[in-house]
Amino acid sequence: MEKLLLALCLLFVSCGNNKKTESTTQETSQPVTETKAAKEPKTLIAGDELTFPSKNGGEVKFLFKEINTIKLSDGTYNLVLKVQIKNNLTQQLLISDVSWKLTDTDMIEVEESGVYDSEFEMFKPAMFFFTTVDAGFGKVEEVGYKVNKGTYYLSIWGYTSAKIEIRD
């Protein structure tokens, strides 16, 4: 009799735990799916503007004036972003401080290569990382990357802001 009572108690406890696990799984899996869908960045096109407000007031705006791809002789591409940076902060902005990154789909960072100069058949020096913009001013700069066909993500201040697709 004691064995039967013990078996029924164990069965009751294990059934109760299964129900809790299922409901917890259902409750937590729903928001995760919604979060992933909400975080998919939009495809960046010329004319798009990304704005980043500061905790101390002010903001920094990145206007993408041009987005160009140049097919190189080795089958790769030179992705060139012409960016107008408007610094509405009270301090100087250094691009290296905003964690500007281009990554592939595996989130591997693509190093800046510069803009390809077809006349000299070489890349101009990569200087975007060292760009500074004084407080209250703006500046137009180009940043170039040597990439293959595929999808790339632009991250600024640790936030994946946009995606760029390279196609033939």
pTM of the complete model: 0.75
Q: What is the CATH number of the domain that holds 158?
A: 2.60.40.1240
The helix (run of H) or strand (run of E) holding residue 20 is helix 2-39
- What would the pLDDT profile of 52-74 be if each residue is shown by its tens digit? 998 888 999 999 999 999 999 99
**Containing structural domain, residue 88:** 48-166
Separation in Å, CA 88 to CA 52, 134, 139, 158, 167: 10, 9, 12, 20, 35
Assigned domain for 14 exists? no
CA-CA distance, 34 to 28, in Å (whole number)?
A: 11
- Number of structural domains, the chain? 1
35 lies in a domain? Answer: no
Bridging pattern class, strands 77-87 and 59-71: antiparallel
User: Which secondary structure element, helix H or strand E, spans residue 37, and what is its range?
Assistant: helix 2-39
- Does residue 143 lie in a domain region? yes
Render pLDDT for 100-111 as a digit per residue (tens, 0 to 9). Answer: 999 999 999 999
